[in-house]
């Protein structure tokens, strides 16, 4: 594990890279409460891991008082986490956060209140989570994902996806707009609803064709959905 000062230096460099508003390293050192919260967390996590549970918890509450950011000392956080603005960010006890993650103000990495044990999300490397987004439960947000401001995400998100909305649904994967139709891959409520509607339309059109005694123009459901989505420039 690199020395604490080396970690602090790379944290400051990460802010300089990711925040166009940052003018100097000294300004970042003095004014970025997201960094102060991460530095407090490192100390508190060490205390937690050495069984000083109460002291770790107490100092994390002190850090919350000073920065407006609550990071449970039991959470596992990688390197160069950048919490921009920060007020209202909450990171739960069993959350895992990878390297080079960016969180904006008001993000919650929380539990659903229904689970025990590992009950907070795992955020893989290079994920960006927009202001006010809530990521709830023991789910995984794959590497290099973007979560839109204000989204509520309750299901796993595969890597390199963009999710928006309440509940969150995937709108981009690998840079392309998508609607997922493969039942094995679906973990997106909007795609699930669209695929269900498409298969219902398919069944009805089958019946109409049978009643009319004609097979002309019959297309399988996936092909009909493909055509609809191509018209609006989505990838299936
Ligand atoms: C999700 C996000 C990363 C997508 O950015 P993008 O890849 O450039 O995508 P676009 O802006 O082209 O948006 C694509 C679609 O998603 C919608 N969308 C984008 N962000 C959204 C959000 N947060 N909630 C709901 N819908 C959203 C857009 O309206 C657009 O819909 P349309 O195609 O029907 O018009 C970005 O909008 C976002 O929310 N970033 C977080 C920024 C933030 O929190 N900043 C805080 C600074 S203090």
Ligand 1 center from residue 177 Cα (angstroms): 13
Burial class (CB in 10 A: 0-12, 13-18, 19+), 16: middle
162 lines ligand 1 (CB under 6 A): yes
Ligand 1 center from residue 109 Cα (angstroms): 20
4-177 classified as CATH 2.160.10.10? yes
Tens-digit pLDDT profile for residues 8-34: 999 999 999 999 999 999 999 999 999
Q: Whole-angstrom Cα distance, residue 222 to residue 227? A: 9
Per-residue pLDDT band at 222 (split at 50, 70, 90) = low
Biggest CA–CA distance in the chain, Å, is 79
pLDDT of res. 115: 83
Q: Of ligand 1's atoms, which has the minimum distance to the CA of residue 147?
A: 1
What pTM does this model have? Answer: 0.85
Query: Residue 228: which H helix or E strand, with range?
Result: helix 221-231
Query: Which 3-state string (H, E, C) describes 148-208?
Result: CCCCEECCCECCCEEEECCCCEEEEECCEEECCCCCCCCCCHHHHHHHHHHHHHHHHHHHH
Ligand 1 center from residue 92 Cα (angstroms): 26
146 lines ligand 1 (CB under 6 A): yes
Query: Residue 114 pLDDT more than 80?
Result: yes
Q: In this structure, what token pair is assigned to residue 67?
A: 């920065």
Tens-digit pLDDT profile for residues 131-182: 999 999 999 999 999 999 999 999 999 999 999 999 888 999 998 888 776 6
Q: Of ligand 1's atoms, which has the minimum distance to the CA of residue 84?
A: 48
């Amino acid at each position: 594990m690199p020395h604490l000062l080396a970690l602090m230096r790379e944290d400051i460099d990460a802010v300089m890279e990711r925040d166009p508003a940052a003018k100097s390293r000294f300004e970042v050192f003095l004014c970025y409460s997201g960094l102060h919260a991460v530095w407090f967390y490192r100390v508190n996590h060490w205390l937690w891991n050495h069984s000083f549970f109460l002291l770790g918890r107490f100092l994390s509450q002190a850090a919350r008082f000073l920065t407006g950011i609550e990071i449970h000392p039991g959470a596992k956080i990688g390197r160069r986490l950048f919490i921009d603005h920060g007020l209202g960010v909450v990171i739960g006890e069993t959350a895992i956060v990878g390297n080079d993650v960016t969180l904006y103000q008001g993000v919650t990495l929380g539990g659903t209140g229904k689970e025990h044990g590992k009950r907070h999300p795992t955020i893989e490397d290079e994920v960006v989570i927009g202001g006010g987004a809530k990521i709830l439960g023991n789910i995984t947000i794959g590497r290099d994902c973007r979560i839109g401001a204000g989204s509520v995400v309750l299901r796993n998100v595969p890597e390199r996806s963009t999710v928006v909305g309440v509940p969150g649904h995937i709108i981009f994967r690998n840079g392309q707009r998508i609607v997922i139709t493969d039942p094995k891959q679906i973990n997106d409520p909007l795609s699930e609803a669209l695929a269900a509607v498409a298969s219902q339309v398919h069944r009805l059109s089958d019946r109409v064709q049978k009643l009319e005694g004609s097979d002309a123009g019959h297309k399988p459901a996936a092909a009909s959905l493909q055509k609809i989505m191509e018209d609006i420039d989505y990838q299936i």
